[in-house]
Structure 1
Amino acid sequence: MKNVFFSILALVAAFPAQAQLQPKKMTPESSEVWSPEPRLVTPGAASAAVSGFTPPSDAIVLFDGRNLDEWESVQGGAAGWNVADNAIITAPGKGGIQTKRDFGDFQLHIEWRSPAEVKGNSQGRGNSGVFMQGLYELQVLDSYNNRTYSNGQAGSIYKQTMPLVNAAKKPGEWQTYDVAYTAPRFNKDGMMLIPPYITVFHNGVLIQNHTAIQGHTDYIGRPTVKPHGRGPLMLQDHGNTTGFRNVWIREL
């Protein structure tokens, strides 16, 4: 009888431990990080001495202010966004656009602007994204006096790594991302041997310093990892009229 009693106690004690091992149902909020909040840094102002550079001689110019010849819809077919005032303007509801070319390791320069007229808050303000190889999102957002979760603000690796600082300019002002990116490496069995790494300067301020990207930047749940080869640069349609200009890339 004593052995039976202790066996029952052991089973009862095991139930809470097993219950703790069961994963909770994931929601969008499960992967939001609100604290700590990146400190504010005011970017340097443009000057005649540092502005007006043309792309390097070995760069592939993806947009020079004239047309979308280098781009297509992520759904297939022609890119459905607009070109106005030497900029690409998102066309809400038409989906994202991506380059016709695929890339591996690269250096990227891209300029973007959130709408001057502020509408919405948090993730609803000037939201878009720049996706490395179509999979890993560098967040574009109006983060000027706009509180949201820290790993979802401008310059974050979405839902993974918050920027070192918040270097956002005011709504309606042109901003820059300068990116150095190395693609992941997989073995023949599809295991990730080396993750993607990204370094980002936002308006000349270092915000991601050789940051390891954990996997696909999913909206819900933890990052997923799937083997892949070269991929396009993708710009996201998130329902806001965000602008992009002066886009060039250097293959490394």
Structure 2
Amino acid sequence: MASAAMAETACKPAPGDTSNRLTAAERSEGWVLLWDGKDLSQWRGLNSDQFPQSGWTSCDGTLTIHEKGGEEGRAGGDIITRKRYSDFELKVDFRITPGANSGIKIFAQSDLSPIDKYTGKPVKVGSGIGMEFQVLDDALHPDAKLGRDGNRTIGSFYDVIPAPKDKLVNPTGEWNSARIVAQGDTVTFWLNGKQTVSFVRGSEAFREAVKQSKFSAISGFGEWRDGHILLQDHGNTVSFRNIKLRELPAQ
């Protein structure tokens, strides 16, 4: 498979493609691109100072993690922003393939060991720890039936709080849009413009939900002051674009 660096020179967006750009209004509102369709300098591997040399490609205006038999963290590994964020609004478009699993994590912590998806015990290879906006093919991936009350389905706060069953999901192969706002202790997820989850970090309800999740053994899970934005390698082909963020006033 071509490396991301090689793909940058070999691939170009289709003529007329307006993705991975900011409007004048967005710039005035403080938005920045975390990826402009070419430049990967704002990202690195979860356990490396460099961007992965395999597994991920930057091509045709999409940033894609490629298939590795569904093995978590074994294609190119998760990627994280070099910068850490605390109060922000994040927007990401994503496109899944049939049966795919991935995630967009916030407040990711690069110094914590990954954990087993069934037991919550530390493992050597896996995904970084953070609060995850679940990206999943609910119809075909078995994870949709695990967890509690659908809290591993698309748009959920993975394994903690479920998205509603009437969420708006575009078909596999089409682009979906995630929006995440974290300001103070309040975090809200949207999927295709419709709110799916809202919670207050550190609240009694939040801590009870975490206690019932696979993250229960991680001290202070989700209550970190800041962290990285993370795009997950779950061993399936998933593409991302229009990755943009604006920092918000602290509350």
1:145 to partner: Cα distance: 6.8
Q: Which residue of 2 aligns with 1:62?
A: 34
Q: Which residue of 1 aligns with 2:45?
A: 73
Question: Does the 8 Å contact 2:101/2:236 carry over to 1?
Answer: yes
1:108 to partner: Cα distance: 0.6
SS at match of 2:145: coil
Q: 1:224 aligns with which of 215, 218, 221?
A: 218
- Name the larger-Rg structure: 1
Letter in 2 for 1:86: G
1:108-147 aligned at under 5 Å gives the runs: 108-115=90-97, 118=98, 125-134=99-108, 135-144=130-139
Q: Which residue of 2 aligns with 1:155?
A: 155
Q: Which residue of 2 aligns with 1:240?
A: 236
Give the 4+ runs in structure 1 shifted more than 4 A.
144-147, 215-219
| Structure 2 gap segments, 5+ residues each | 1-20, 69-74, 109-129
Question: Does the 8 Å contact 2:167/2:194 carry over to 1?
Answer: no
| Cα distance between partner residues in 1 of 2:104 and 2:211 | 11
Deviations 1:192-232 (A, max 9, x none): xxxx4321221111212x32353679973536343643211
Alignment CA distance shift 1:236-1:145 (3 Å)? closer
Letter in 2 for 1:63: W
| Cα distance between partner residues in 1 of 2:211 and 2:103 | 11
State the TM-score, normalized to the length of structure 2: 0.64
Alignment CA distance shift 1:218-1:132 (3 Å)? farther
| Cα distance between partner residues in 1 of 2:167 and 2:94 | 16
Q: Identical aligned pairs, as a percentage?
A: 26
SS at match of 2:151: helix
| Cα distance between partner residues in 2 of 1:97 and 1:217 | 27
1:85 to partner: Cα distance: 1.5
1:4-15 aligned at under 5 Å gives the runs: none
| Cα distance between partner residues in 2 of 1:71 and 1:129 | 16
Question: Does the 8 Å contact 2:107/2:224 carry over to 1?
Answer: no
Alignment CA distance shift 1:206-1:229 (3 Å)? closer
1:207 aligns with 2:207: no
| Cα distance between partner residues in 2 of 1:223 and 1:202 | 29
| Cα distance between partner residues in 2 of 1:141 and 1:217 | 23
Deviations 1:113-166 (A, max 9, x none): 001xx2xxxxxx211111111121111112257652410000111111101233
| Cα distance between partner residues in 2 of 1:168 and 1:53 | 25
RMSD of the TM alignment (CA)? 2.5
| Cα distance between partner residues in 2 of 1:158 and 1:76 | 25
Q: Which residue of 1 aligns with 2:117?
A: none
1:100 to partner: Cα distance: 0.7
Alignment CA distance shift 1:154-1:160 (3 Å)? same
Q: Which residue of 1 aligns with 2:78?
A: 96
Question: Does the 8 Å contact 1:128/1:236 carry over to 2?
Answer: yes
Question: Does the 8 Å contact 1:139/1:154 carry over to 2?
Answer: yes
Alignment CA distance shift 1:232-1:158 (3 Å)? same
State the TM-score, normalized to the length of structure 1: 0.64
1:87 aligns with 2:84: no
Alignment CA distance shift 1:140-1:250 (3 Å)? same
